[in-house]
Chain A
Amino acid sequence: SAVISQKPSRDICQRGTSLTIQCQVDSQVTMMFWYRQQPGQSLTLIATANQGSEATYESGFVIDKFPISRPNLTFSTLTVSNMSPEDSSIYLCSVVSGNDLYEQYFGPGTRLTVT
């Protein structure tokens, strides 16, 4: 299975600032996703990170707020822009290494607190 690392593991940020989260995978993967898990809630898909092109965002999420890059098959970044306390959440990178979605693995997550 793919080994996924995320940086930072946690951060406390002031409102109005931005934070970029990095996701690094130890092998090339076909698909990369970014999820959010708010306290007491399930995982919500933010977007699919597409290599070399714009990410595909889910309803309720926009590029200006959550810009995503994926320059190659092993790395992606998610930026949380102009943060507010409502953005406090755990952000998780997820990858699919094969053709079937059952091979989906999650990174350790980034715990973000916005004050």
Chain B
Amino acid sequence: QKEVEQNSGPLSVPEGAIASLNCTYSDRGSQSFFWYRQYSGKSPELIMFIYSNGDKEDGRFTAQLNKASQYVSLLIRDSQPSDSATYLCAVVSGYSTLTFGKGTMLLVSP
């Protein structure tokens, strides 16, 4: 059973701070890793993907991957109230289908 684990939160940060969202996965053979953002009542939207160990930056977002520790994270710099949403970690293994974590709710207060 492939599992993707996330802290459900909520993670509360003040505006302008760095939000750190974490995800662990059970399948050591996992190859691709994705972060989706889901606003309440909306469908998920892809914000980042990472395939290799290390960091990948895109604007205010940085994805970090450590395959040895089976750990992937998402950092959001200069957090804004509009970043308040649920962030879903998703992992691809083997059969090229996504396994999602339950998501971490992020609340950014003005």
Contact = CB atoms under 8 A, between A and B. Distances in A.
Given A42-B103, A101-B98, A106 B32 contact: no
B85 to A, nearest CB: 14
A1 to B, nearest CB: 9
Interface in A32-48: 33, 41-45, 48
Contact of A109 (B32, B43, B88, B102): B43
Nearest to A102: B49
A74 B102 CA distance: 29
Interface residues of B, number: 18
B43 A108 contact: yes
B100 interface: yes
A106 B37 CA distance: 11
Interface string A89-111: 00010000000011011111100
Interface centre among A42, A92, A105, A107, by most B CB within 10 Å? A42
B44 A48 contact: no
Contacts of A45: 97-99
B98 A104 contact: yes
A37 to B, nearest CB: 9
Given A41-B102, A102-B49, A92 B32 contact: no
Contacts of B103: 42
A101 B32 contact: yes
Interface of B: 32, 34, 42-46, 49, 88, 92, 96-103
* List of 3 A-B pairs having minimum Cβ-Cβ separation, nearest first: A106-B43, A102-B49, A42-B102
